[in-house]
Amino acid sequence: MSFDASEGLPTSGFNGGASCTGSGQLYFGSSHGLLTIPRGLPVASAPAAPTVLRAVRTLEGMASADRAPWDLERLEVAYGEILSFAFAVLDYGDPRRHRFAYRLTGLRDEWIEIDERREVTFTDLDPGEYTLEVRGRSSHGVWSDAATSLSLVVVPPFWMTTWFRVAVLTSLVLAVLAAHRRRTSTLERRNRELMALKNQREAALAEMHASQEQLHETYDRLRRLTRRLELAKEDERKRIARELHDEMGQGLTAAKINLQLLAALPGSAETKDRASDTIELVDRMIQHVRALSLDLRPPLLDELGLSPALRSYLEAQAQRTGIDIEIADNGLPGDLPAEVGITAFRFVQEAVTNVIRHAEASRVDVDVMHAQGRLELTVRDDGSGFDVGQALHRASSGQHLGLLGIRERVESLGGQLEIDSSPGKGTSLAVNIPWR
């Protein structure tokens, strides 16, 4: 408790070090001489003065025109509104000695003292419910016992409500699913066309076995159909890979960015969790689309040629499987025909895939050479090997068509396939393709 000249003292100027106590008196040195007060002099305790809200204002004026600010118990304001609260301590002492403190539950839990300032302003309150509590200190230095409180509700705009965010999220997911369905329908139609070509090829095979007299003609027809089928498959793979990368990949990426922006907006934890789960789902779809696009048709094959495409593919397989894969080439010419290049790439791709699946090898060597207008490729591994005769018999009977497919593809270009393998001694596959 403190006193000054307004309470009857001769002056308000005292020296903090000029004081002492006697047997029956208290002595204080002041600017007007010595002040003596009897010890034990009863002093009435100053009561706590109530603190009230004097005004609640926005940029447009008073926040509640129908009720006095000190009678308000609940106040609703729109999101983004700037609020100012003015306070007052109801006592008759010197107002310069009044002090104030406030606490906004929902934003901070601790009391914040604002000294003699009688007003506090909030400019960036998020949507939600808050409780504003204010207490004041009277001119006698006594804080009010009970804090004045006001329930404050910041109403969110429609685009920050949970139902709107759920609707936007649902719309994005439905749009992605619709795009996926449209692409799937296109792929199914293309697949039917490929199946038609395959049926033609199978019909040619049946004719070859049915008539020995037409064997040579049927074989030539089979080669032409095989070549057409492979060209159609490669064109389709190229188109599908481009659509997956350019359209579906970009669409999924845009959907992911929109979901991340939506998740960054203020909202409930449940909404943010659902948005995060959807972002992870879309991200996995993007990775899957990219991997599928690269497997269908590596872009490096069309952009930089056979050698860079093979190096990129083999490095990716080595990193994925842990197998030591090495490639050596003597510098391929730049005018290598596209059909020869894709056939060579598919040969290496099929051979390395078989090694990964069946050979249990630790090392693979790929040699790519050209000489005298011919392209020579060799794939060697140190794996378990196999019986060549049995493998070719199974391939001719419709099982394990990988070797048969490689041979037909190479022979359709006038090339040859050589297989050297035995159980426990690894495998060597070599092709020789003319390109001039």
CATH value at residue 412: 3.30.565.10
For residues 75 and 154, give the distance between their C-alpha atoms in angstroms, rounded to a whole number: 9
Closest to 368 (Cα-Cα) out of 382, 351, 354, 386: 351
Q: Does 361 fall in a domain?
A: yes
Residue position matching structure tokens 């106590």: 21
pLDDT digits (tens, 9 = 90+) for 52-111: 888 888 888 887 767 788 888 888 888 888 889 998 888 877 778 888 899 999 888 888
Last residue of a domain, one of 137, 156, 175: 156
Give the CA angle between residues 421, 422, 427 to the nearest 5°.
Answer: 30
Residue 112 has pLDDT above 70, yes or no: yes
Q: Does 399 fall in a domain?
A: yes
**What average pLDDT is seen over the chain?**
79
Closest to 434 (Cα-Cα) out of 411, 407, 406: 411
Same domain, 260 and 282: yes
Burial 242-271 (b: 16+ CB within 10 A, else e): ebbbeebbebbeebbebbeebbeeebeeeb
Same domain, 120 and 170: no
Q: Does 98 fall in a domain?
A: yes
Same domain, 325 and 347: yes
Same domain, 67 and 111: yes
For residues 251 and 160, give the distance between their C-alpha atoms in angstroms, rounded to a whole number: 25
- Per the structure, the count of domains in the chain is 4
Q: Does 340 fall in a domain?
A: yes
For residues 111 and 120, give the distance between their C-alpha atoms in angstroms, rounded to a whole number: 13
What is the distance of C-alpha 259 from the center of its chain? 8
For residues 306 and 333, give the distance between their C-alpha atoms in angstroms, rounded to a whole number: 10
Q: Does 405 fall in a domain?
A: yes
Q: Does 265 fall in a domain?
A: yes
Residue range 316-338: mean pLDDT, rounded:
84
What is the distance of C-alpha 417 from the center of its chain? 47
Regarding predicted confidence, which is higher, 344 or 283? 344
Same domain, 149 and 178: no
Regarding predicted confidence, which is higher, 247 or 391? 391
Residue 244 has pLDDT above 60, yes or no: no
Residue 196 has pLDDT above 80, yes or no: yes
pLDDT classification of 366: cutoffs 50, 70, 90: very high
Residue type, 2: S
Regarding predicted confidence, which is higher, 301 or 106? 106
Containing structural domain, residue 263? 162-296
- pTM of model > 0.75: no
For residues 62 and 372, give the distance between their C-alpha atoms in angstroms, rounded to a whole number: 94
Closest to 207 (Cα-Cα) out of 195, 192, 193, 217: 217
Q: How far apart are the first and last CA of the chain?
A: 108
Handedness of CA 219, 224, 230, 232 (dihedral sign): negative
Strands (E), 242-373: 324-329, 363-371
Same domain, 99 and 171: no
Regarding predicted confidence, which is higher, 317 or 8? 317
Last residue of a domain, one of 270, 296, 322: 296
Q: Does 13 fall in a domain?
A: yes
- Tokens standing for residue 402: 């990988």
* Lowest model confidence (mean pLDDT) among 67-81, 150-164, 167-181, 239-253: 239-253
Same domain, 248 and 205: yes
pLDDT digits (tens, 9 = 90+) for 122-139: 988 889 999 999 988 887
pLDDT classification of 378: cutoffs 50, 70, 90: very high
* Lowest model confidence (mean pLDDT) among 16-20, 170-174, 210-214: 210-214
Residue range 360-373: mean pLDDT, rounded:
89
Same domain, 218 and 174: yes
Same domain, 25 and 142: no
Residue range 173-196: mean pLDDT, rounded:
89
Report the percentage of the chain scoring pLDDT > 70. 73
Residue 398 has pLDDT above 60, yes or no: no
Same domain, 278 and 316: no
Phi, psi (rounded to 5 degrees) for 268: -70, 160
Same domain, 91 and 179: no
Last residue of a domain, one of 124, 156, 188: 156
Q: Does 43 fall in a domain?
A: no
